[in-house]
Chains A and B, each alone.
Chain A
Amino acid sequence: MTSSALALPARSSRTWTQHPLVARYAPVVTMVAALIAIWYVAAVAMNWSLVRDGFEREETPYTTSDILSGTMDAERPLLPAPHQVVNAFLDGVFGYPPLAPRSLVYHALVTLSATVLGFVLGALFGIALALMIVHSRVLERSLLPWIICSQMVPVLALAPIFIVVLGALGLHGLLPKSIISAYLCFFPIAIGMVKGLTSPEPLQLELMRTWSATPRQVLWKLRWPASVPYLFASLKVAVTISLVGAIVAELPTGAEAGIGARLLSGSYYGQTVQLWAALVTAAVLASGLIGIVGLIERSVARHMGAH
Chain B
Amino acid sequence: MATAKPNISIVSETSAAPSRGQAPYGAESVSASDLTSQEKATRRRVVDAQNISLTFETADGRVDALSNVNLQVADGEFVSFIGPSGCGKTTMLRVIADLQQPTSGTLLVNGMTAEQARLARAYGYVFQAPALFPWRTIEKNLKLPLEIMGYSEFEQQQRVQRYLSMVNLTGFERKFPWQLSGGMQQRVSIARALSFDPALLLMDEPFGALDEIVRDHLNEQLLHLWKSTGKTVLFVTHSIPEAVFLSTKIVVMSPRPGRIIDVIECDLPTDRSLEIRETPEFMKVAQRVRNGLRAGHSYDE
Contact = CB atoms under 8 A, between A and B. Distances in A.
Interface in A1-21: 1-2, 4, 6-10
Given A1-B90, A2-B65, A8 B99 contact: no
B170 interface: no
A6 B58 contact: yes
Nearest to A3: B100
Best-buried of A4, A7, A10 by chain B (most CB within 10 Å): A7
A7 B103 contact: yes
A197 to B, nearest CB: 29
A7 B57 CA distance: 7
B101 interface: yes
B58 A8 contact: no
A8 B63 CA distance: 10
B55 A8 contact: yes
A104 B91 CA distance: 61
Contact of A6 (B56, B94, B99): B56
B56 A8 contact: yes
Interface in B96-142: 99-101, 103-104
A1 B54 CA distance: 14
Contacts of A6: 56-58
**Interface size range on B against A:** 10 to 19
Contact of B57 (A1, A4, A8): A8
A161 B263 CA distance: 83
A4 B65 contact: no
Nearest to B94: A4
A208 to B, nearest CB: 31
Interface string B27-65: 000000000000000000000000000111110000001
A267 B103 CA distance: 63
Nearest to A4: B100
Best-buried of A2, A4, A6, A8 by chain B (most CB within 10 Å): A2
Contact of B101 (A1, A2, A7): A7
B100 A7 contact: yes
A216 B218 CA distance: 51
Contacts of A1: 90
Contacts of B94: 4
A4 B101 contact: yes
Interface in A204-250: none
Give chain A's interface secondary structure class. Answer: loop
B99 A4 contact: yes
A267 B58 CA distance: 56
Given A1-B90, A2-B56, A4-B99, A10 B65 contact: no
Contacts of B101: 4, 7
A4 B100 CA distance: 5
Nearest to B56: A6
Contacts of A4: 94, 99-101
A7 B104 contact: no
Contacts of B56: 2, 6-8
A6 B58 CA distance: 7
A19 to B, nearest CB: 14
A275 to B, nearest CB: 47
Interface in B52-100: 54-58, 65, 90-91, 94, 99-100
Nearest to B100: A4
Contacts of B55: 7-8
B99 to A, nearest CB: 6
A10 B94 CA distance: 17
B166 to A, nearest CB: 29
A245 to B, nearest CB: 39
Interface in A156-191: none
B104 A10 contact: yes
Contacts of B103: 7-10
Nearest to A5: B100
A2 B56 CA distance: 9
A130 to B, nearest CB: 33
Best-buried of B55, B58, B100, B104 by chain A (most CB within 10 Å): B100
B54 A7 contact: yes
A296 to B, nearest CB: 30
A9 B99 CA distance: 14
A2 B91 CA distance: 9
Contacts of B100: 4, 7
B8 to A, nearest CB: 33
A9 B55 CA distance: 9
A167 B204 CA distance: 72
A164 to B, nearest CB: 50
A234 B54 CA distance: 46
B97 to A, nearest CB: 11
A2 B101 CA distance: 12
Contacts of B99: 4
Interface of B: 54-58, 65, 90-91, 94, 99-101, 103-104
6 contacts: A1-B90, A4-B99, A6-B56, A6-B57, A7-B100, A8-B56
Interface of A: 1-2, 4, 6-10
Which 10 residue pairs are nearest across A and B when measured between Cβ atoms?
A4-B100, A8-B57, A6-B56, A8-B55, A2-B56, A7-B56, A8-B103, A7-B100, A10-B103, A7-B54
Given A7-B54, A7-B55, 14 more contacts: A1-B90, A2-B56, A2-B65, A2-B91, A4-B94, A4-B99, A4-B100, A4-B101, A6-B57, A6-B58, A7-B100, A7-B103, A10-B103, A10-B104
